[in-house]
């Protein structure tokens, strides 16, 4: 993005639909998940009386797309959903048959170019149900969360492997049923000979499957970090960045960690506010006094001032106010 485009985007900030500092803050403030961070219900199929209503299942993707575009990025599909979090096979079938659901789920990457860090959002169905008794309206429960590149790869590769295994099992069941039907149609005189050969074939096939079948421990499992809350991940990044910057080591990587922590947005509680604002101060410090990092940006000072202005106006941060005076 050119400097002119950047300045134009800053001038239009007042008119944007989602004036948030990070995609995580957007998810929380727009209530895309439930207030406790769990998956939220969206109607994807209306009954006959409400058939003209639009699907709600596209809402999370629509909001994330708007936010990405407003920040100067481009949102694109990174991984298709394999419905890996939906345990019930009948529910998976119903959801997979609905175009509105399929188009609104999966992992999406917001590519931001050189001015900001790209991010990945995962929108996954957890379950679906009948919205009310005596109604054909159905809702899908969607979980929206940010993922790191490796985390997204591990999650979607694992669900893809599970889906393939399930498909193979279905094919085996179908083949067995077909074989039984074929056997039943044969004359009784050939039955015993066929049964003997079929038994031998099954035993050989079973031995081959046991030999080739991967052990359960080899199935890719989500890393331990998947269980960490956004607040815990933000705290880790902030502490690491602050330590390295204060010690003057790994400065470029430290600044990247500070930016990642800041991108998580404000988390819950007083501690969440402190970590967010102090991460912002580290980012401003990187943009103004650490040349290995600031040289990557054509308007590093302007970006630092934007971060500091946000901290000063929204959180009355004394350090941000003092740093703004020094920069001016």
CA–CA separation, 320 and 313 (whole Å): 9
Same-domain pairing of 137 and 48? yes
Same-domain pairing of 183 and 99? no
Nearest to 312 by CA among 288, 289, 280: 280
Higher pLDDT: 132 or 174? It is: 132
Beta bridge partners of 291: none
What pLDDT score was predicted for residue 243? Answer: 94
Same-domain pairing of 104 and 181? no
Same-domain pairing of 58 and 167? no
> Of 111, 126, 147, which one is at a domain's C-terminal end?
147
Same-domain pairing of 235 and 298? yes
In a domain, 152, yes or no: no
Q: Contact, 112 vs 70, CB < 8 A?
A: no
What tokens were used for 176?
A: 């067995």
What tokens were used for 79?
A: 């991984």
Higher pLDDT: 50 or 197? It is: 50
Same-domain pairing of 38 and 114? yes
In a domain, 9, yes or no: no
Same-domain pairing of 295 and 255? yes
CA–CA separation, 194 and 101 (whole Å): 48
CA–CA separation, 98 and 280 (whole Å): 42
In a domain, 166, yes or no: yes
In a domain, 143, yes or no: yes
Q: Please name the residue ranges forming H helices in the chain.
A: 3-11, 23-29, 59-70, 89-96, 99-104, 149-184, 188-212, 230-247, 251-263, 269-289, 291-294, 300-315, 318-327
Nearest to 61 by CA among 82, 89, 30: 30
What pLDDT score was predicted for residue 54? Answer: 84
What pLDDT score was predicted for residue 214? Answer: 52
Same-domain pairing of 91 and 199? no
pLDDT band at 163 (very low <50, low <70, confident <90, very high): low
> Mapping DSSP to helix (H, G, I), strand (E, B) and coil, where does residue 295 land?
coil
Same-domain pairing of 36 and 135? yes
Same-domain pairing of 180 and 258? no
In a domain, 178, yes or no: yes
Range of the domain at 108: 18-147
pLDDT in tens, 52-77: 888 899 999 999 999 998 888 899 99
What total number of domains does the chain contain?
3
The model's pTM is 0.51
Same-domain pairing of 27 and 141? yes
> Of 118, 147, 176, which one is at a domain's C-terminal end?
147
In a domain, 253, yes or no: yes
Q: Rounded to the nearest 5 degrees, what angle is found at the Cα of 113, between the Cα atoms of 124 and 122?
A: 5
Residue 224 has pLDDT above 50, yes or no: no
Same-domain pairing of 317 and 244? yes
In a domain, 289, yes or no: yes
In a domain, 6, yes or no: no
pLDDT in tens, 73-111: 899 999 999 999 999 999 999 999 999 999 999 999 999
């Amino acid at each position: 993005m050119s400097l002119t485009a950047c300045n134009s985007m800053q001038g239009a900030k007042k008119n944007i639909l989602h004036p948030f500092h990070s995609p995580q803050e957007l998810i929380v403030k727009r209530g895309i998940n439930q207030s406790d961070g769990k998956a939220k219900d969206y109607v994807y199929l209306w009954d006959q009386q409400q058939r003209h209503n639009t699907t709600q299942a596209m809402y999370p993707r629509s909001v994330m797309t708007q936010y990405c575009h407003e920040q100067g990025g481009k949102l694109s599909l990174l991984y298709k959903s394999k419905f890996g979090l939906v345990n019930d096979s009948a529910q998976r079938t119903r959801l997979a048959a609905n175009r509105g659901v399929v188009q609104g789920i999966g992992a999406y990457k917001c590519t931001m170019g050189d001015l900001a860090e790209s991010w990945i959002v995962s929108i996954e169905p957890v379950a679906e149900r009948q919205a009310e008794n005596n109604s054909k309206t159905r809702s899908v429960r969607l979980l929206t969360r940010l993922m790191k590149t490796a985390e997204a790869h591990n999650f979607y590769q694992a669900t893809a492997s599970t889906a393939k295994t399930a498909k193979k099992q279905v094919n085996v069941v179908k083949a067995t049923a077909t074989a039984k039907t074929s056997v039943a149609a044969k004359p009784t005189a050939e039955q015993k000979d066929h049964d003997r050969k079929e038994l031998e074939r099954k035993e050989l096939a079973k031995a081959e499957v046991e030999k080739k079948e991967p052990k359960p421990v080899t199935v890719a499992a989500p890393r331990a970090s998947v269980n960490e809350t956004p607040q815990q991940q933000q705290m880790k990044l902030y502490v690491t960045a602050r330590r390295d910057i204060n010690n003057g080591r790994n400065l470029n990587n430290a600044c990247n960690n500070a930016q990642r922590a800041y991108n998580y947005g404000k988390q819950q509680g007083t501690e969440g506010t402190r970590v967010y604002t102090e991460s912002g101060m580290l980012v401003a410090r990187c943009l103004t006094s650490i040349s290995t990092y600031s040289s990557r940006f054509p308007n590093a000072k302007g970006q630092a001032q934007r971060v500091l202005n946000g901290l000063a106006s929204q959180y009355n941060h004394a350090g941000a106010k003092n740093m703004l005076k020094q920069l001016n």
